[in-house]
């Protein structure tokens, strides 16, 4: 994976807009709990192969970045994105790593379902 290049990632997000795509979104404790005592606070979320069509996607911030995908009925939102790649299957893979290098958030957009 490469560090986020905002223009390149924005172009890739735009490429998938107004098409049926499959979303993988995952957070770990690192996404929200890095400033808290881990024994006290724990958070996580996971969704895979959600079929959506977003009309607008944006990457914002100064790093780590925020990515929002606006659908006609709501939003998909990921915060803490630091890296990206397009894999051999044409999927946009976005990841956020915490200060220790641990995966904290992943947002992936695919034209086909994930295995």
pTM of the model: 0.87
3-class DSSP state of 115? coil
Domains and CATH numbers, the chain: 2-110 (2.70.180.10)
- HSE-CB at 24 with a 13 A cutoff on CA atoms is 15
pLDDT of residue 100: 84
3-class DSSP state of 67? strand
Mean pLDDT throughout 75-87? 96
pLDDT of residue 35: 47
Digit-coded pLDDT (tens) for 18-73: 999 999 999 886 544 444 455 555 667 889 999 999 999 999 999 899 999 999 99
Residue 10 backbone zone (phi > 0: left; psi -120 to 50: alpha; other: beta): alpha
**Averaged pLDDT of the chain:** 89
Question: What does 22-60 look like in DSSP terms, one character per residue?
Answer: EEEEEE-HHHH-TTS-TTT----EEEEEEEE--SEEEEE
């Amino acid at each position: 994976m490469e560090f986020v290049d905002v223009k390149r990632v924005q172009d890739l997000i735009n490429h998938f807009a107004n098409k049926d795509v499959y979303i993988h979104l995952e957070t770990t404790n690192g996404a929200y709990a890095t400033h808290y005592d881990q024994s006290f606070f724990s958070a996580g979320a996971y969704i895979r192969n959600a079929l959506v069509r977003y009309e607008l996607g944006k990457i914002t911030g100064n790093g780590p970045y925020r990515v929002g995908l606006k659908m006609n009925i709501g939003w998909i939102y990921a915060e803490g994105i630091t890296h990206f790649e397009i894999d051999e299957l044409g999927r946009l893979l976005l990841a956020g790593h915490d200060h220790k290098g641990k995966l904290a958030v992943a947002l992936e957009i695919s034209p086909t379902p994930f295995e």
